[in-house]
Structure 1
Amino acid sequence: MNELDTGLRARLIEVGVDLVTREGIQSLSLREIARQAGVSHGAPRRYFPTHLALLSAIARQGFAELTVTVTEAVGDSRASPRAQLMTLGRIYLDFALTNRGMFELMFRHDLLESNQLGLRETSLPLFEVLVDLVARARPRSAPAPPVVAGALWANLHGIAQLWVWGSLQLAAGVDDIEPLLRAVLDAHLGPETR
């Protein structure tokens, strides 16, 4: 691929990221991405053989952004592993609530199932940070840290989704995610000891 091709490919992804951020997942048609990028409606097919491949490339950007944000926030921290997990949880939930279109795209079943561009594997660096923090927070835990991390991730994802729908606020009678996040950590790591 020459420099011009690489630039146009990157531009199509950039336009898709911008569209999903501003207008949501429903705006990501090939035609609209091409129009916003200033190319013919057939041009994206030159770089992405399917619509799913282009959507996967856009979703990879979301995973990359979230992973960098989390890694920077917890990587050099002198805080305890539990405090770092709290930070990770806050970042994850904030990302889900402020980047709803991207968050929805990143976890779309058809994209993950097709695994275009290795999309599933794109989430692994973020999950590895979570596993490492769980292992440090619960050094001799049973079940194993990847299992606890998986359950913790599932809880965070569920909180994000139910919060977006407004169901969690209604059912739990809360207007702040923080108590829910603390409850999730207590459930998976045990109560915090001082």
Structure 2
Amino acid sequence: MPESSTSASETGLRSRLIDVGVELVAAEGAQALTLREIARRAGVSHGAPRRYFPTRLELLSAIARRGFADLGERARPVLDAGGDPRAQVAALARTYLEFARDNPGMYELMFRHDLLEGGHLGLRETSLPLFGLLADLVGRVRPDTDARRAAGALWGNLHGIAQLWRWGSLRLATGDEDFGPLLDAALLAHLGPEGGR
């Protein structure tokens, strides 16, 4: 078999394993992601994933990269639209919360500490550019503050809202049927009132 055919075939199987992992995490959550189950659903031997992903964490990182790519694609129209930085931060924050709500398994996988810390497949480098864009926008809204810290605090707030909303805790505590009022409160807390002080 020509080398290019083998390479294309190997690339195809690697991509298929990731695709199956993405489908599995969407259907059953991050806890369902085992090498054996991904191999079974991909129609290959249970040892086949190890040819492309020597460890389970490397396969999970590749699947999580798809999540970050998806989140980035959802954020792109907000960022490309330009305009008022505060409105962009609000739209970006809503996009983030909607992604977390609509993709709970992927969202959980994307922020697993062991994947981010392990440096698998540059996952940290995949996740940081979007934060950099958020920090830039926050800096334009609040030039009086350390933009990275303010953006980090806002992100932490959004992450907490996403997790607690998914668990049902915030709906129970606030009585809100949508996370919109919580998002508005977080933006006010971190960006100050609209129109400045």
Shorter-chain TM range is over 0.9
Picking from 77, 89, 98, the partner of 1:72 is: 77
Letter of the structure 2 residue corresponding to residue 27 of structure 1: A
Letter of the structure 2 residue corresponding to residue 125 of structure 1: P
The 5 A counterparts of 1:37-52 are 37-52=42-57
The CA distance in 2 between the partners of 1:76 and 1:162, in whole Å, is 30
Q: Give the superposed CA RMSD.
A: 1.3
Q: Does 1:83 align with 2:68?
A: no
The 5 A counterparts of 1:90-109 are 90-109=94-113
Match of 2:36 in 1: 31
Query: So what's the TM-score if we normalise by structure 2?
Result: 0.93
Unmatched tracts of structure 1, length 5 or more: none
Q: Does 1:14 align with 2:19?
A: yes
Letter of the structure 2 residue corresponding to residue 82 of structure 1: R
Match of 2:144 in 1: 141
Letter of the structure 1 residue corresponding to residue 144 of structure 2: S
* Greater alpha carbon shift after TM alignment, 91-100 vs 103-112: 103-112
Unmatched tracts of structure 2, length 5 or more: 1-5
Conserved in 2, the CA contact under 8 Å of 1:70 and 1:88?
A: yes
How far off is 1:113 after superposition?
2.3
The CA distance in 2 between the partners of 1:77 and 1:18, in whole Å, is 33
Letter of the structure 1 residue corresponding to residue 159 of structure 2: H
The CA distance in 2 between the partners of 1:38 and 1:90, in whole Å, is 38
Match of 1:4 in 2: 9
How far off is 1:4 after superposition?
1.0
How far off is 1:170 after superposition?
1.6
How far off is 1:85 after superposition?
0.8
Match of 1:171 in 2: 173
Deviations 1:87-107 (A, max 9, x none): 111110000011000000001
Query: So what's the TM-score if we normalise by structure 1?
Result: 0.94
The CA distance in 2 between the partners of 1:181 and 1:122, in whole Å, is 25
Conserved in 2, the CA contact under 8 Å of 1:71 and 1:129?
A: no
Deviations 1:52-74 (A, max 9, x none): 00000000100111012112222
Match of 2:195 in 1: 193
What is the percent sequence identity of the aligned residues? 63
The CA distance in 1 between the partners of 2:65 and 2:124, in whole Å, is 9
Q: Does 1:113 align with 2:117?
A: yes
Letter of the structure 1 residue corresponding to residue 11 of structure 2: T
Conserved in 2, the CA contact under 8 Å of 1:67 and 1:125?
A: no
The CA distance in 2 between the partners of 1:132 and 1:124, in whole Å, is 12
Letter of the structure 2 residue corresponding to residue 178 of structure 1: G
The CA distance in 2 between the partners of 1:108 and 1:125, in whole Å, is 18
Conserved in 2, the CA contact under 8 Å of 1:95 and 1:103?
A: yes
Picking from 140, 152, 155, the partner of 1:153 is: 155
Matched pairs, number = 191
